[in-house]
A and B are shown apart, each in its own frame.
Chain A
Amino acid sequence: MTVDTMPGTPSPADAVPPAPGARPAPRRRRRRLLGESGLAPYAYVGPFFLIFLAFGLFPLVYTAWVSLHEYRLGGEMTWTGLDNYTWLFTSEQFYNALWKTITIGALSTIPQLALALGLAHLLNYRMRARNFFRISMIMPYATSVAASTLVFAQIFGRDNGFANWLLSLVGIDGPDWRNGNWTAQIAISVIVIWRWTGYNALIYLAGMQSISQDLYEAAAIDGASKWQQFVHVTLPGLRPTILFTVVVSTIGATQLFGEPLLFGGGTPNGGALGQYQTLGLYMYQQGWQFGALGRAATVAWVTFVLIVLLVVLNTALTRWRTGERSTRRAAR
């Protein structure tokens, strides 16, 4: 039999002995079916897609299905069509949550990415203990949301908080961080910035290191200052990296949940005026505080659509901004 003499071709499934003269033909066929160009790639990626179907696509579709029903936690589902969407778009609380998600998102994402870019630029220089600084960048990211938020909640305490103590040193009467509108949003943004800046800085650093040193040398010879090098060499070179971090941060900001939840003592109210109630908290409140699962599903789906829109918008904006800059550079 050919099984042992022809390594690579046989498998138990193909036990039919081929006619001696026709040997090359079945081999080619088999390669097409099972080899690199055949079924194998599908089998290799199969597990991912099965898991994606079970834990990604199915929940997405089922959530859409649930959002068309009135479904009380512990009760039965009753079909209500688009009632939940009508309810959502007439709910003041929803627009409040939407707006807070955007403002907290902006307050946290923009300084975060700017800081990360600056830090990465500094870390890219030769300096003492460079590896120590690089590694310590990632430490906040490794800390759990719960731990960091609890610490920050103490720092921003009204009566015995560290932040207000610092302010009192310079003679400023500290605000009631938790209950104030902007102060609460700023406090939450600080937590987010603290956690994610290092993470983004390392991504930028990796991006920077793929930029050729020749460009910097050439720029230096042309008499470009460090700042000019940053603006005209580093930034254009980082374009794909910046795009990536913008997309990831946008998604993160839209889904912001753990920080405001824990900042609010584990309740999803988001403060007396809902001043830090994000869409994530609003969804959680509907589902788990009020037991309205159908409505929670509606919020989830609207959030999903919003994320897609925001990512597309942000990507376009970033492309346009960096694209504009590089064309300007080229024109110069």
Chain B
Amino acid sequence: MRIRSTAPVVATLLSGALLLTACGGSDDEAASSSGGGDGDVELSVSLFGTMGFEESALFEEYEKQNPGVQINYESTQGEDKYWPALQTKLASGSGLADVQGIEVARIADVVANQSDKWTDLTTLQATKDIAANYVEWKAAAATTEDGKVLGAGTDIGPMALCYRTDLLEQAGLPTDPAELAARLGSWDDYVALGEEYKAAAPEGSAWMDSAGGFYNAMVSTSEEIYYDEAGELVYDSNPAVKEAFDTAAAAGEAGLTARLEQFVDPAWDQGFASGSFATIACPSWMIGYIKGKAGDAGAGKWNVTPLPGGEGGNWGGSYLAIPESSENKEEAAKLIAWLTDGEQQATVFKNVGNFPSTTDGIANVGDATDEYFNGAPIGEIFTASADAAPTQILGQDDGVLKNTLVKALLSVEANGVPAQEAWDSAVSQVENQLG
């Protein structure tokens, strides 16, 4: 009987304790994220995808050069999962790392809406003049109207064309990069060559991977894409967007694409090795991606040539930034400055293909070649593309627009939706979304 009478008390206490622990969680977390004592510094770095630092053992080297600094690194595979998680941490002000990565498609949003949540790098000793090292537009995109610099560029995405020499050979097309480049004076030439390829192509192989990839390559060579300089939405009146959309849609309708959605369809990944497509628009970071997916068996089968007409463009690239809540800002700035220094950027480029964003770094990679790609002069090709690339105007909803248009193009190539209908439905979806 004794037990019975004390049980209610115990149960009440238990429920109370549950409530208390539910409330206490956040304090513990805040306490553990501060730096270690005794002059030792623990720096947390949270990135996404393959940024190349870990892969090139740069964190290890930094720790060696700076005794007392310990780097805790973590990476989320997909940027589409990394970003929402980062936003919730920013909103709650806890769980943030000292250094966070930001993809170029997000930087306009950060500059326009979150300048109070990120540290102005010009206020820190190590990164005071960091913007001066960068390709001009790269720094401009991370600078607010009142001159705060919120991110240090890690890489940019100058573009080229990657192709399978063995497939082109079987179709009777030139396999030498220079000869191929001579046949590619414009995007129309690229499509025309595709028709030629299709006529003699090995079975089960298309000229390019996807209409969406083709479209992205084309619009990436424009200065104005979805927004104008004043920040107004102009995608539906911008001839560059419509032209790229129509050209890519036509290529899809003509059966020049393998109808494989980039980064989504597992068959796209397999296609690098199995030869479902002969060419792919190739931002520099795609070099590393191809190596990963085509594997050792693909070595020597791939090559690189400049974009049609030798055009320059940019697709992708990232920034490193320090959240305002970081307690190790000076140390984090030192790390950022070192990681984005020309020498380290060149190392990353040689390891995973991410192209330097600093003028120093670019100077360091000019003579780089890649054995895997038949010894292609990738340094030279991507440097030329970066030089020729226009200063893109970025907008905060670029991601929504790109996603909607690429999806519409997939419906053209894979579902036989007429191009104009796909365009109209994409426009109405964008209007519904962005109002």
Contacts and interface: CB of A to CB of B under 8 A. Distances in A.
B84 A291 contact: yes
A207 interface: no
Interface string A31-56: 00011000110011011001100100
Interface stretch (A106-114, A133-141, A153-161): A153-161
Nearest to A180: B415
A159 B274 contact: yes
Interface in B408-435: 408, 410-411, 414-415, 417, 428-429, 432-433
Contacts of A180: 415
A289 B83 CA distance: 9
Given A7-B1, A46-B12, A87-B432, A265 B265 contact: yes
A54 B9 CA distance: 22
Nearest to B409: A272
A112 to B, nearest CB: 25
A179 B415 contact: yes
Contacts of B90: 74
A74 B6 contact: no
B4 A35 contact: yes
Interface string B324-364: 00000000000000000000000000000000000000000
A51 B18 contact: yes
Contacts of A87: 432
Interface stretch (B122-130, B224-232, B256-264, B288-296): B256-264
Nearest to A181: B415
B7 A40 contact: yes
A8 interface: yes
A273 B261 CA distance: 13
B132 interface: no
B410 A179 contact: yes
B172 interface: no
Interface in A263-292: 264-267, 269, 272-273, 287-292
A41 to B, nearest CB: 9
A50 to B, nearest CB: 5
Nearest to B14: A47
A32 B9 CA distance: 15
Nearest to A14: B5
B66 interface: no
Interface in A58-85: 72-75
Contacts of B113: 72, 74-75
A176 interface: yes
Question: B interface, how many residues as a size bin?
Answer: 35 or more
B400 interface: yes
Contacts of A91: 432
A229 interface: no
B410 A7 contact: no
B297 interface: no
A92 interface: yes
A210 interface: no
A179 B276 CA distance: 17
Nearest to A161: B267
Contacts of B374: none
Contacts of B414: 176, 179, 272
A5 interface: no
B202 to A, nearest CB: 13
Contacts of A160: 267, 270, 274
Which of A10, A47, A154, A181 is most buried by chain B, counting CB atoms within 10 A of its CB? A47
B403 interface: yes
Contacts of A272: 261, 407-408, 410-411, 414-415, 417
Contacts of A47: 11, 14-15, 18
A73 B84 contact: yes
B266 interface: yes
A265 B270 CA distance: 14
B24 interface: no
B84 A265 contact: no
Interface string B6-32: 111101101100110010000000000
Which of B8, B12, B267, B417 is most buried by chain A, counting CB atoms within 10 A of its CB? B8
Given A10-B5, A43-B8, A43-B12, 11 more contacts: A9-B5, A34-B8, A47-B14, A47-B15, A73-B88, A74-B117, A91-B432, A157-B270, A160-B267, A160-B274, A269-B264
29 contacts: A34-B8, A40-B8, A43-B7, A43-B8, A44-B8, A47-B11, A47-B18, A50-B19, A54-B22, A75-B113, A93-B432, A153-B266, A158-B267, A178-B265, A179-B414, A180-B415, A181-B415, A265-B266, A266-B78, A266-B81, A266-B264, A269-B403, A272-B261, A272-B407, A272-B408, A288-B84, A289-B80, A291-B84, A291-B87
Interface of A: 7-11, 34-35, 39-40, 43-44, 46-47, 50-51, 54, 72-75, 87, 90-93, 153-154, 157-160, 176, 178-181, 264-267, 269, 272-273, 287-292
List the 8 closest pairs (A to B, CB-CB), nearest first.
A8-B1, A265-B264, A179-B414, A272-B410, A272-B411, A43-B11, A74-B87, A288-B84
